[in-house]
A and B are shown apart, each in its own frame.
Chain A
C-alpha cells in the first residue's frame, strides 16, 4: 500500500467519526455557545452546551465544517464532555492539549487518545485543537456568569 504512513493519521476511528459525527443537531436553548474559525484554512466549529441543575453537561450540539481531523475531534469531544462539570471539561481540554503537544497527560481521554497519531503530522495539530480552543473560550465567556 502506497500510503502506509497515512494510515496512522486516517485510522478507522477517525474515519468512522468523520462519516458519522455524533451530536450534530444544533441545540436551540444552549447555556453555552462556542464558535471557532481557523483563519488560515477556513475551518469552522460551532458548539452548543446545555447544563443540568448541578452544572453538568447534559446535552451537546456540535457542527463543524472542515477536514477529517477537525470533524472527528469535534465528534469525539461532543461525546467526551457529556456529564462532566465545566471544571472537569476544562481539565479534559488541558489534558488533550498535553496529548497533542507531547506532554504528560492523564489517562481519562478515552477514545481521544487515538488522535495522538496526528502528532506525526505537526501541520495538522491545529485541526485537532480548533474545537478544544473554541470550547475553552466558550466556557471562559460563560464563567463570569457562573455562581461559584
Chain B
C-alpha cells in the first residue's frame, strides 16, 4: 500500500480546514488535488521560460517547445503509446471525444450504421454520438447491463455485427466504478471491422493502462483527474488512423503551407492542434505523470482496491445505506456510489460538507444511468493516492451522524 501519510505532505491543499474541520477530499472522480511539483512546474514555466511554441528561433521559445514536447513524450510513455505523434492535446476528455465525433466519425459512419455504447456512459461519451447518429442517420445501440452495474455479455455475439462501426465505451464507470472488459470487447469490435474509442477519464489516472494491450484506436482522458492542471486533456489515436483523419479546428499551427484559397496540413499531431496550445498546463501534466510514475501505477491501483474494499466493508454497518455497482473491489475502481435511506443526496452532501467531507451528489453526468438504476440522484465517494483508511472511517462515521440527525429531527418535528 502507498504511504499516504507521506504523500499527503506533497499536497498543500490537504492541510486546509473547512468549517474548522480537516478537509476530507473524496471527490476525486470529479477532479483530483495537485501536488506541489505540478503547481511549481506552472510557476517555473511562467517565471522562467514563457514563450510560444514551435514559432521562434529565440532561446525561450526553444526551451518552451522542448518542455512542451517532453511532456507529450511523458504522456505517450505513460500509456505505452508507440510514438508521441499519437498524443493530441485537447482541453479535456470531452473535447477529445468531440474531436473524434467531428472528424473520423463524421466521415466514416453512414446511414444505417451502428455506434455501440454502454448504459453507463458519461454524458461526454453519449451526447456527441447522438449528434453523429442524427446527422449521419446512424443508430445508437447499448450493450445490456446487469443489476450490479456490470455488462451483460451473454448475447454479445448478437450485439456486434457488420453494421457496427464504432464501440465507444467507458473503461471505468465514474458513477459505479465498474471496470469494463475493454480489451475483450475491442477484439470483438475489430473482428467485425469496427473502431474502438475508450473513455479513459477514470482509468488512466488510477491504474496501469497500455493502449497496445487494450488495442484501442482512440483513448480520451483529462489531466485534471490525474494530479494535473485543469484545461489540458489528451486524445490518443493510432498513428495510421490519425493520418487519415481530416483536421478538426483550423487556423495557425495546424498548417504546413497556406495560400489565399487553400492550405495543406502540418505533420501529426500538430494537424489537430490549431492555435496556441495550452503550453503551461501540458507541462504541468508532464509533472503529474512524473509524480504518478514515481509512485507506480500498480501501487496506485492496489491502494485504491484496498481503500474501496475497506469502504465497502464498513458501509455494510449502515443498514439504511444502499450501495450501487459491483461488490468485488477487484473489478471496480475507487468509487462508492450510494444512497442513504430517504435522505436526499443533496441534504446528505450538505451535512457531510459541514463535517469537512467533500463527496459528490447528483447524477454524476450519467442521467440515463440514474434512470436505469431507478433513482434521481445518488451520493459518491471516490478515492485517490492521498486518501487513507482513517478518512474512510471519517466518512462512515459522518454518514452515521447524518442518518442519526435526520431520524432525530424528523421525530422532533
The answer for the CA separation of A66 and B370 in the assembled complex, in Å, is 13
Judging by beta carbons under 8 Å apart, are B412 and A12 in contact?
A: yes
Judging by beta carbons under 8 Å apart, are A68 and B347 in contact?
A: yes
Residue of B nearest to A3 (CB): B405
- Nearest-neighbour CB distance to chain A for B371, whole angstroms, equals 10
Judging by beta carbons under 8 Å apart, are A41 and B346 in contact?
A: yes
From A16, A41, A124, residue with most partner B Cβ within 10 Å? A41
Total contacts A to B, CB within 8 angstroms? 61
The answer for the CA separation of A5 and B21 in the assembled complex, in Å, is 14
Contact size range, A: 20 to 34
Judging by beta carbons under 8 Å apart, are A124 and B346 in contact?
A: yes
Judging by beta carbons under 8 Å apart, are A12 and B344 in contact?
A: no
Residues of A within 8 A of B361 (CB): 41
- Nearest-neighbour CB distance to chain B for A111, whole angstroms, equals 14
**With A15-B413, A42-B377, A65-B376 in contact, is A10–B363 under 8 Å at CB?**
no
Residue in contact with A42 in the complex, picked from B347, B362, B405, CB distance below 8 Å? B362
Residue of A nearest to B343 (CB): A68
Residues of A within 8 A of B344 (CB): 66-68, 71
Residue of A nearest to B370 (CB): A42
Report if A43 contacts B (CB, 8 A).
yes
- Nearest-neighbour CB distance to chain A for B86, whole angstroms, equals 35
From B354, B401, B410, B413, residue with most partner A Cβ within 10 Å? B413
**Which parts of A1-25 form the interface with B (CB within 8 Å)?**
2-3, 5-7, 9-10, 12, 15-16, 19
Residues of A within 8 A of B370 (CB): 42
**With A67-B347, A127-B346 in contact, is A43–B376 under 8 Å at CB?**
yes
- Nearest-neighbour CB distance to chain B for A107, whole angstroms, equals 25
Contact with B along A62-105 (1 / 0, CB 8 A): 00011111010000000000000000000000000000000000
Report if B60 contacts A (CB, 8 A).
no
Residues of B within 8 A of A44 (CB): 376
Name 6 A/B residue pairs within 8 A (Cβ), A-sorted: A6-B405, A10-B405, A42-B377, A44-B376, A68-B344, A121-B350
